[in-house]
Chains A and B, each alone.
Chain A
Amino acid sequence: MSKRSDELHIKLSKIVGADRVRTDKMERLLHNHDLAPLPPLMEMGFKMMPDAVVRPKSAEEVSRIIGLAVREGVPLVPRGGASWGYGGAMPCEGGIVLDMTSMNEIVRMDVDNLEIEVEAGATWQKVIDEAEKAGLFIGYYPSSKPAATIAGWIATGGIGVGTYKYGSVKNNLRNMEVVLPEGQIINTGFDYVSDHSAAYNLNDLFTGTEGTLGIVTKVTLKAVPAPEVVKPISIMYPTLIELYPMMHAITRKRIQPLHIAFVDEHHSRYLKAMGKHTPGDGAILNVVLEGDKVSVEHEESVIAELITEHGGTRLSDEDAQHEWEENPYEFRVREVGVSAALAEVVVPMTEFTDTIEDLYTLIKSMKMEASVIGMLGDRNTVLLMPYYLYVEKKLVKSMASLSFGNKVGNLSMEHKGRPLGFGLFFAMNLKKIRRDGAPVMYDIKTVLDPYDIMNPGKMFEGMTRYGMPMPGAMMGMGMAMMALGKKVLPKDKGFTKAVKDHDPERGHHGGGEEKAPAPKEKA
């Protein structure tokens, strides 16, 4: 164990007690990554191993940990469910990882005021479930709700389920308790009422920060009364290109579905090849309606009319329900033993067809096994999540996964869109994507985090292990070369090979004597 770890262990123990500090090598290793499979080689360039991991239980503890970090000159890395893949929750200059998931209590379930005050490290699943028990509905959450934490999603500012109808989390924040990089504990908004007033909107400022401006410890979220009906509808088309006119048409009607999402034909074919339940091998448009019975019936009839006009096969209610329940499980395909690298970009609705065609051309030129899935952020914002399958143990292909993300990002910008998220991997893109807004962001960061201890290296380019900055241009060039390298390698067959050996009947411990129904409450 390093000397710094030993010292931090003693000092952190004084703040939170020895039970909630760990500096052993195993625990630190488990906090040196997020969803992205990084080759261990990266450790040579960046100090990805944290010096200590701590689980705070209150804003006061967080504040004191920050005080310690400032005094010691040690970086802090806040971490939620670590279910994102851009390296946002992993150290790159060592330091203290704050595992926020022990701050997971529901502080106030306020049915009268339609809001929920919750500690920042609770999972979205927990908050959704508790709200439901109280007769409230949270209509906005990340697809990764079983693992993603409240503040984790706030830090990404992302698009998710229900963004189409309710906006993202940033549109549903009443207030946040944030600990600033010099230790002050502040409130960013107001409980009970909206912040439609003068003065800078701090709720917005502290959203999408990737943990670079402070640590969110408590959040007050808006809720709505529970709906009478949640009704998923699925429509199948031969290809994603052929699905587009219907999706476009829905957005140009005044109906307001909760969620609109799609998978392409390749996604369906991978699942089918694995023996998973899938309604067919085409592209599927999933539209989820929600609200009063009469309004849902009306919206359903509008969709039925559009199907008559634009074609498509409406799937059974059972299949639609299945598609809806499978929403958090986008990567079932990995079960055969392959990895999936994901890119996230947004493009305008009008560029959809051209972007998809270019994406498929890119996938073909990089000789990849890949698919495109996505969802709508609003009537004109399409989130595309192309993923490519590869064998993680093969270093070159593993590295190429990063270049794929970069290429897709560039492609989106050619189509009036942009990639989402920076983290560690795409920090070099901040100036390119935020253009003349980027210097303002640098100024804000400098003012609020003068010691540069708050998640350094994320969003803003960081330092390598050797005290030198990682120049964006070099990183970009490196990625371009990796992509080029990928093009000259043989065609990917990772999935095709793996699926041949796959046994779909495996699992569930030999059970299945009864086909078990889902949990149900007795009426």
Chain B
Amino acid sequence: MSAEKGSRNRPPKSIAKDLDACLQCGYCRDVCPVFEQDPWESASPRGKVYMLKQLDRKGFMDRILAVFDREIKVTDDFVERVYWCTSCGMCEEECHVEIPFPELWEEVKGWLVDQGVAPLDTHRAFLSRVSNVKNPFNEPESTRGDWSKEFLLSSKPEVMYYVGCTESFRMQKIAKTTATVLKAADVKFNIMGEEEWCCTSPLLRTGQKSLTESFARHTQEQMRISGANVMLTACAGCMATTKRDHTKAIGPLGYEVLHVAQYAEKLIEDGRLSFNRTIPRKVTYHDPCHLGRHAGVFEPPRNVIESIPGIELIEMPRNRRKSRCCGAGAGFKAQFDEYAVNIAAGRVQEAIDVGSEQIITTCPFCAVNLNAGAKQLGVRQPTIDLMQLILEALGPSV
């Protein structure tokens, strides 16, 4: 039962202050999407922090108190509870003492990985695959750029399009759509092809930090070779990771990282992108946690949507900083798919309740999971990527 190994069973020093700060007020409980799925205290941020606090303060007295049934140790149950989290960051948002929770959970996961008691089964495979073939899907590196054959790539690009693993190997349609939109705006772009390596988001979010530095340097080198000073991503996870975590790992990058939603907003402002078709439709926008709360990008996608003639953008009650997670993040869907889909179904219901006909988002993971949620509900409320909506609005000439 016990997963405790070696002597390093005290949580990392870097979070000690946060553990002291937590007053156990419980404001994090009701806002946590995974707590709602299994509402035991051990599944709540507050409960996990209490356990960590006891582990941090474990001392001689606890040995005596073990006689009284009080046991403080890292068990398999506790490890699973730590991974019972989508890294959505709502706990931080509501926190009385503003504990930077997504960072704290990653620190804790990293500590558990170092002890050899984590990550969970499905997450372990990520590391070997990303290490070997530079993507978590175990697809051959050489096929990464296959979707791009029909596009004219520039050798002197304005921007580099960092496609991301999901769009390269699983959702090529979004990659093609993004490329088509760039083409329509006459943007000179290129991709890294087989030299594009995973951003390491799936590893970092599950506590596996070992590859991030070398992968970040590789991406930085590819950007240097390309000569472009803007790197675009069409994935919220890639955006947050290549910008924030890569900077954290290797220092200033020397180029700007933008999500295509931000770039599209600029293209519209500069008159390079304009919409010919009127789309009479009520849509809502789902903020991906990684683009919204984590990267602070809220308005550009909304501005793009609202610039399309005929579109009516309706907000769900939980939006922007208070947006509800789709349920997929931080390896949660990979390990606990059933619960992830339940969370998505709840989010889709919110969209239906405000009268939306279609959900627009800016993250392929959110799109996949929300569509699974709609399927579970048995409703017609498709989630599409912002790029697909743009393409539709550009009209048949593109």
| Alpha-carbon separation in the docked complex, A340 to B23 (Å) | 8
- Choose one: A28, A30, A99, A334; the contact of B50 (CB below 8 Å): A30
Give the residues in chain B near A506, CB-CB below 8 Å.
Answer: 100
Give the residues in chain A near B50, CB-CB below 8 Å.
Answer: 29-30, 33
Digitize A436-475: 1 where CB-to-B-CB distance is under 8 Å, 0 elsewhere. 0000000000000000000000000000010000000000
Q: A29-B51, A146-B30, A519-B318 are known contacts. Are A393 and B98 too (CB-CB below 8 A)?
A: no
Cβ-based interface call for A513 (8 A):
yes
Among A125, A391, A513, A520, residue most surrounded by chain B Cβ atoms (within 10 Å): A513
| Alpha-carbon separation in the docked complex, A101 to B40 (Å) | 9
| Alpha-carbon separation in the docked complex, A391 to B98 (Å) | 19
Give the residues in chain B near A108, CB-CB below 8 Å.
Answer: none
Q: A31-B41, A335-B98, A519-B318 are known contacts. Are A144 and B25 too (CB-CB below 8 A)?
A: yes
Q: Are A147 and B26 in contact (CB under 8 A)?
A: yes
- Choose one: A83, A391, A465; the contact of B26 (CB below 8 Å): A83
Give the residues in chain A near B298, CB-CB below 8 Å.
Answer: 514, 516-517
Cβ-based interface call for A511 (8 A):
yes
Cβ-based interface call for B252 (8 A):
no
Given contacts A147-B26, A507-B99, could you give 14 more A-B pairs where the C-beta distance is less than 8 Å?
Answer: A27-B42, A33-B50, A49-B68, A49-B69, A53-B40, A328-B96, A332-B96, A332-B97, A334-B20, A338-B20, A506-B100, A519-B318, A519-B319, A519-B320
CB-CB contacts below 8 Å: A36-86 with B = 37, 40-41, 43-44, 47, 49, 53, 55, 81-83
Query: Which of B70-78, B176-184, B226-234, B389-397 forms part of the interface with chain A?
Result: B70-78
Nearest to A510 among chain B residues (CB) is B244
CB-CB contacts below 8 Å: A128-154 with B = 144, 146-147
Give the residues in chain B near A55, CB-CB below 8 Å.
Answer: 39-40
Cβ-based interface call for B288 (8 A):
no
Q: A22-B40, A83-B25 are known contacts. Are A518 and B321 too (CB-CB below 8 A)?
A: yes
CB-CB contacts below 8 Å: B247-296 with A = 248, 292-296
Q: Provide a sorted-by-A list of 26 A–B residue pairs whose CB atoms are within 8 angstroms.
A: A22-B42, A25-B71, A29-B54, A35-B23, A44-B64, A49-B69, A55-B39, A99-B41, A123-B30, A126-B30, A146-B30, A329-B96, A332-B97, A336-B17, A337-B16, A391-B20, A465-B68, A506-B100, A508-B92, A509-B92, A509-B100, A509-B102, A509-B244, A514-B297, A519-B320, A522-B313
| Alpha-carbon separation in the docked complex, A339 to B24 (Å) | 11
Among B30, B50, B240, residue most surrounded by chain A Cβ atoms (within 10 Å): B30
CB-CB contacts below 8 Å: B25-63 with A = 25-27, 29-31, 39-42, 47, 50-51, 54, 57, 61-62
Give the residues in chain B near A519, CB-CB below 8 Å.
Answer: 315, 317-322
Q: A49-B68, A331-B96, A513-B296 are known contacts. Are A522 and B315 too (CB-CB below 8 A)?
A: yes
Query: Distance in Å from the Cβ of A375 to the closest Cβ of chain B?
Result: 18
| Alpha-carbon separation in the docked complex, A26 to B293 (Å) | 31
| Alpha-carbon separation in the docked complex, A329 to B25 (Å) | 10
Cβ-based interface call for B21 (8 A):
yes
Cβ-based interface call for B89 (8 A):
yes
Give the residues in chain B near A27, CB-CB below 8 Å.
Answer: 40-42
Nearest to B17 among chain A residues (CB) is A337
Q: A328-B27, A508-B100, A514-B298 are known contacts. Are A26 and B65 too (CB-CB below 8 A)?
A: no
| Alpha-carbon separation in the docked complex, A2 to B67 (Å) | 11
CB-CB contacts below 8 Å: A475-523 with B = 498, 501, 506-522
Query: Distance in Å from the Cβ of A327 to the closest Cβ of chain B?
Result: 12
Q: Are B61 and A41 in contact (CB under 8 A)?
A: yes
Interface size on A, residues (CB 8 A): 69
Give the residues in chain A near B337, CB-CB below 8 Å.
Answer: none
| Alpha-carbon separation in the docked complex, A95 to B71 (Å) | 17
A-B contact count (CB 8 A): 185
Give the residues in chain A near B77, CB-CB below 8 Å.
Answer: 24, 26
Cβ-based interface call for B186 (8 A):
no
| Alpha-carbon separation in the docked complex, A509 to B16 (Å) | 18
Cβ-based interface call for A239 (8 A):
no
Q: Are A521 and B70 in contact (CB under 8 A)?
A: no
Cβ-based interface call for B141 (8 A):
no
| Alpha-carbon separation in the docked complex, A193 to B84 (Å) | 46
Q: Are A509 and B293 in contact (CB under 8 A)?
A: yes
CB-CB contacts below 8 Å: B3-32 with A = 16-18, 20-27, 29-31
Chain B residues at the A interface, C-beta cutoff of 8 Å: 16-18, 20-27, 29-31, 39-42, 47, 50-51, 54, 57, 61-62, 64-65, 68-72, 75, 77-78, 81, 89, 92, 94, 96-100, 102-103, 240, 244, 248, 292-299, 313-315, 317-322
Among B26, B31, B92, residue most surrounded by chain A Cβ atoms (within 10 Å): B26
Q: Are A393 and B322 in contact (CB under 8 A)?
A: no
Give the residues in chain A near B89, CB-CB below 8 Å.
Answer: 509
Cβ-based interface call for A353 (8 A):
no
Cβ-based interface call for A191 (8 A):
no
Give the residues in chain A near B31, CB-CB below 8 Å.
Answer: 146
| Alpha-carbon separation in the docked complex, A43 to B29 (Å) | 26
Cβ-based interface call for A102 (8 A):
yes
Among A26, A83, A515, residue most surrounded by chain B Cβ atoms (within 10 Å): A26
Q: A518-B321, A522-B314 are known contacts. Are A334 and B21 too (CB-CB below 8 A)?
A: yes
- Choose one: B17, B62, B293, B314; the contact of A40 (CB below 8 Å): B62
Query: Distance in Å from the Cβ of A349 to the closest Cβ of chain B?
Result: 29
Q: Are B27 and A147 in contact (CB under 8 A)?
A: yes
Give the residues in chain A near B72, CB-CB below 8 Å.
Answer: 29
Cβ-based interface call for A281 (8 A):
no
Query: Distance in Å from the Cβ of A336 to the closest Cβ of chain B?
Result: 7
Q: Are B296 and A511 in contact (CB under 8 A)?
A: yes
- Choose one: A40, A334, A517, A521; the contact of B23 (CB below 8 Å): A334
Give the residues in chain A near B61, CB-CB below 8 Å.
Answer: 40-41
